[in-house]
């Protein structure tokens, strides 16, 4: 049996950060993943979506950026040139270069301090660890929707990796993934319908930001169906073989592809958490203020919460490694920056006004219309800057921006 100071389950942003910090401090580390090393961000999420948004922006502005060129650029960015599957060799080399033992396979707890790894050929290896960091990431939620089993729905994977434009597209869910991909495909001439159960898109963002992004999507030709839910799907029952989505208000929409962007779930069932005396709560892992799940077991990344961002996963991975190595530190989640990379962009940090007041803060907010500033006026830009303040403490508790380049501003 091989023994390590730390075994890291999952090699996405959180897992890689944990490995590099721990090996940098002299710890022996094994890192395990059954899929691509690097996680979702480089291959199916952040990188390809931003590459496609850039291409769509140039194309929309009249530049020479047809879909074939956009697809090739995306493939270059995710190391998938001329193949169907991205190459994660760079991430593997980086981890091995840091001194980690890299194992491709599925990991589960055998007992406290012991992890069993099953490789693709069915062989099993048992590892012993002083500490284990769980950084398993997340995957697209697949709803229990009648008729869904009769089609092959898209998730963010297909939405960011297809080499052929769909004839038409229905996107279920208008959070960051849904709105970003709706703009990409609409700007390339695809008929896009965005379905969302709330009264506004990006409903966790500031209402002013939602309004700015919604107006841009409408200008791009995206049809938004708000305050309705998909109730069932009739496969290939629409015009030209499109799928028909029946909505909760009795109406229907049609699309040749259906993209699911309704949230993320966590593959915790594969971990055999019962072996360490842990039960999940609604599919999530409950951790303490030091990311601790159980004795000498820590969690980082999407499954740790409170939000899902690559930069947060990286931070938590480093913090989990530090704590596992004995540092008496605690992650600070009070100011997590967020960004949505549509055109115009939306970015935020901290609490909305109603969230601040729910926490008992004597809060107020102040807004400036971007179009009323000199720069906004001359650039014909639409957007806003809104700051939420604690009047008693004289501090900023939230900031919300929408407009060109605000992801860098935040």
pLDDT digits (tens, 9 = 90+) for 280-318: 877 779 999 999 999 999 999 999 999 999 999 999 999
Output phi, psi for 314, to 5 deg.
-60, -45
- Structural domain spans, the chain: 2-38+88-138+266-324, 148-262, 344-409
Upstream peptide bond of 344 is cis (omega within 30 degrees of 0) = yes
Closest to 137 (Cα-Cα) out of 302, 304, 316: 302
2.60.40.290, 3.40.50.300, 3.30.390.30, 1.10.1270.20: which CATH number matches 344-409?
3.30.390.30
**pLDDT one-digit tens code per residue, 98-125:** 999 999 999 999 999 999 999 988 999 9
Report the alpha-carbon distance of residue 318 to residue 23 in Å, rounded: 11
Beta bridge partners, 223, equal: 193
Place of tokens 């909305």: 352
Q: How far is CA 81 from CA 75, 77, 86, 161, in A?
A: 5, 9, 8, 12
* Residues of the chain below pLDDT 50: none
Kindly give the pairing relationship between strand 139-140 and strand 345-350: unpaired
Contacts (Cβ under 8 Å, ≥6 apart) of 272: 108, 109, 110
- What pLDDT is stored for residue 225 in this prediction? 99
Quick one: angle between helices 67-77 and 46-60, nearest 10?
A: 150
Residue pair 370/216 in contact by the 8 Å Cβ criterion: no
Residue pair 33/106 in contact by the 8 Å Cβ criterion: no
Residue pair 253/195 in contact by the 8 Å Cβ criterion: yes
Residues of the chain by 3-state class (helix, strand, coil), percent to 5: 30, 30, 40
The CATH fold assigned to 148-262 is FAD/NAD(P)-binding domain (3.50.50)
Report the alpha-carbon distance of residue 273 to residue 289 in Å, rounded: 20
The CATH fold assigned to 2-38+88-138+266-324 is FAD/NAD(P)-binding domain (3.50.50)
Same fold, 2-38+88-138+266-324 and 148-262: yes
317-333 b/e with 16+ CB inside 10 Å = b?
bbbbbbbbbeeeeebee
Q: How far is CA 129 from CA 7, 11, 124, 303, 342, in A?
A: 6, 17, 16, 21, 43
* Residue 295 token pair: 């004795």
Residue pair 219/187 in contact by the 8 Å Cβ criterion: no
- What pLDDT is stored for residue 64 in this prediction? 97
Report the alpha-carbon distance of residue 225 to residue 205 in Å, rounded: 18
Q: What pTM did the predictor assign?
A: 0.95
* Residue 383 token pair: 């957007």
């Amino acid at each position: 049996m091989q023994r390590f100071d730390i075994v890291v389950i999952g090699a996405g942003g959180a897992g890689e950060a944990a490995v590099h910090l721990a090996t940098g401090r002299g710890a022996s580390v094994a890192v395990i993943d059954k899929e691509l090393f690097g996680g979702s961000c480089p291959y199916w999420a952040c990188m390809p979506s931003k590459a496609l948004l850039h291409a769509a922006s140039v194309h929309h502005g009249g530049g020479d950026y047809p879909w074939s060129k956009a697809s090739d650029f995306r493939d270059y960015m995710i190391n998938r040139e001329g193949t169907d599957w991205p190459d994660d060799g760079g991430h593997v080399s980086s981890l091995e270069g840091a001194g980690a033992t890299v194992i491709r396979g599925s990991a589960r707890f055998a007992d406290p301090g012991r992890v069993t790894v099953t490789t693709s050929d069915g062989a099993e290896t048992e590892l012993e660890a002083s500490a284990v960091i769980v950084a398993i990431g997340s995957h697209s939620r697949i709803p229990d929707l009648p008729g869904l089993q009769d089609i092959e729905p898209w998730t963010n994977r297909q939405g960011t990796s297809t080499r052929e434009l769909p004839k038409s597209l229905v996107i279920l869910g208008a959070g960051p993934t849904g709105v970003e991909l709706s703009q990409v495909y609409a700007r390339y001439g695809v008929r896009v319908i965005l379905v969302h159960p709330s009264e506004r898109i990006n409903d966790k963002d500031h209402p002013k930001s939602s309004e700015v992004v919604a107006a841009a999507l409408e200008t791009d030709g995206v049809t938004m169906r708000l305050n309705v839910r998909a109730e069932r799907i009739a496969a290939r029952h629409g015009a030209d073989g499109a799928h028909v989505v029946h909505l909760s208000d009795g109406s229907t929409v049609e699309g040749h592809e259906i993209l699911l962007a309704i949230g993320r779930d966590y593959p915790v069932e594969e971990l055999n958490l019962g072996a360490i005396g842990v039960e999940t709560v609604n599919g999530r892992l409950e951790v303490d203020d030091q990311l601790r799940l159980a004795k000498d077991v820590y969690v980082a990344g999407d499954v740790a919460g409170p939000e899902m961002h690559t930069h947060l996963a990286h931070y938590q991975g480093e913090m989990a490694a530090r704590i596992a190595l004995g540092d008496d530190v605690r992650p600070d989640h009070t100011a997590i920056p967020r960004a949505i990379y549509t055109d115009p962009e939306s970015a935020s940090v901290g609490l909305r006004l109603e969230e601040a007041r729910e926490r008992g803060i004597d809060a107020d907010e102040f807004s400036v219309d971007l179009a009323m500033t000199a720069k906004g006026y001359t650039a014909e830009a639409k957007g806003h800057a809104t700051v939420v303040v604690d009047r008693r403490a004289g501090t900023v508790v939230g900031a919300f921006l929408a407009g060109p380049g605000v992801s860098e501003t935040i």
